Amino acid sequence: MDKGYTNPEVLVTTDWVAENKDNDGVRLIESNEDVLLYMTGHIAGAAHIDWIRDLNDAIRRDYLDPNQFAELMGKNGIGRDTTVVFYGDKNNWWATYAFWVFKLFGHPDCRIMDGGRKKWVDEGREMTKDVPSFAAVDYPVQHRADYKIRAFRDQVLDHIKADQPLVDVRSPQEFSGELLHMPGSPQEGALRGGHIKGAANVPWSRAVAEDGTFKTADELRGIYEREKGLSSDQTVIAYCRIGERSSHSWFVLTYLLGYENVRNYDGSWTEWGNLVGVPIENPSAA
């Protein structure tokens, strides 16, 4: 089914995964919010990428460095020419986060299994608890291209001054300042509630259909463009609380709708809500 995406090749179906999971040139990666979920069962041959342990620096609030990334790839049998297919829980929320980190290092062929873990399970497909082992390979050290797809605090400030669009992908309650974290989660991490001045609220989950797959391009344009006024020729910054939900919206705008200048502000509200003197709008405090 043609859904009208600008880059349809970046998505693969569960059928495609079933047919290609044993292909030596393909590596499946499961990445979940629940880091223990992988051990309860996963697609045969899938490696596990723990977003805390594997992708983040243990001390600094930053990502792994180029040498660490090369080591992570090598031990998972991923070469520079390997097709890496990500999937996970929460409608691929964390799969797109891992995808985004891989793109910080410019890995060429990254894809998402449309529908994620939910669709695979709902279709009754086989799962295993066996943890695969991979022959180590040499992966060349790649410098991170942060400036291309990642926004930092000062760049966000410049973005505001230039009156460029920001997309806050958190829940409406977080956007309004009523909550500091997702509903049902501990309300911690920021001293102030609200949103970055001028941001539009488009919760990340609006991009997903009931079966966990992405909505059609026309439906997505209806949300982002006809409803919120974005256009593909703009420079857009997306953010959430720590940059994970906004990686999902970054993926939608960049790959499914073909926006060429979208960056993920991974400092997000945990950083912005703790800064002194930055522009914040908090309707709940009015």
Instruction: Give me the residue label for tokens 């939608």.
Output: 252
Q: Please report how the helices 244-251 and 89-104 are oriented relative to each other, as an axis angle in degrees rounded to 10.
A: 80
What spatial distance separates the first Cα and last Cα of the chain, rounded to whole Å? 47
Q: Does the pLDDT of residue 187 top 80, yes or no?
A: no
Catalytic option among 29, 104, 240, 252: 240
Q: pLDDT digit string (tens) for 112-170?
A: 999 999 999 999 999 999 999 999 999 999 999 888 999 999 999 999 999 999 999 99
Question: pTM of the predicted model, to two decimals?
Answer: 0.96
* Confidence (pLDDT) at 184: 75
Q: Does the pLDDT of residue 286 top 80, yes or no?
A: no
Write the class of the CATH domain 8-144: alpha beta
* Cα pseudo-dihedral 32, 37, 38, 39, rounded to 10: 160
* Confidence (pLDDT) at 182: 77
Instruction: Give me the residue label for tokens 């259909």.
Output: 209
Q: Cβ atoms within 10 A of the Cβ of 263, count?
A: 23
Buried b (16+ CB within 10 A) or exposed e, 116-144: bbbbbeeeeeeeeeeeeeeeeeebeebeb
Asked if 87 and 30 touch (Cβ cutoff 8 Å), the reply is yes
Q: Does the pLDDT of residue 189 top 90, yes or no?
A: no
Reported residue count of the chain is 286
For 78, the 3-state DSSP assignment is coil
| Domain extent listing, the chain | 8-144, 148-285
Which residue stretches of the chain are H helix?
Answer: 14-20, 66-75, 89-104, 116-122, 146-149, 153-161, 172-176, 217-221, 244-251, 268-272
Asked if 168 and 282 touch (Cβ cutoff 8 Å), the reply is no
- Asked whether the domain spanning 148-285 has the same topology as the one spanning 8-144, the reply is yes
Q: Does the pLDDT of residue 58 top 90, yes or no?
A: no
Q: Which of 113, 101, 105, 106 is nearest to 242 (CA)?
A: 101
Average pLDDT, the chain: 95
Asked if 205 and 169 touch (Cβ cutoff 8 Å), the reply is no
Give residue 52's pLDDT band: very low, low, confident or very high (50, 70, 90). Answer: confident
50 vs 215: CA distance, rounded Å = 27
206 vs 41: CA distance, rounded Å = 28
115 vs 96: CA distance, rounded Å = 12
240 is catalytic: yes
Q: pLDDT digit string (tens) for 192-242?
A: 999 999 999 999 999 999 999 999 999 999 999 999 999 999 999 999 999
Q: What six digits make up the tokens of 165?
A: 């669009």
Check: CATH 3.30.70.930 for 148-285? no
Q: Which of 206, 204, 178 is nearest to 192 (CA)?
A: 178
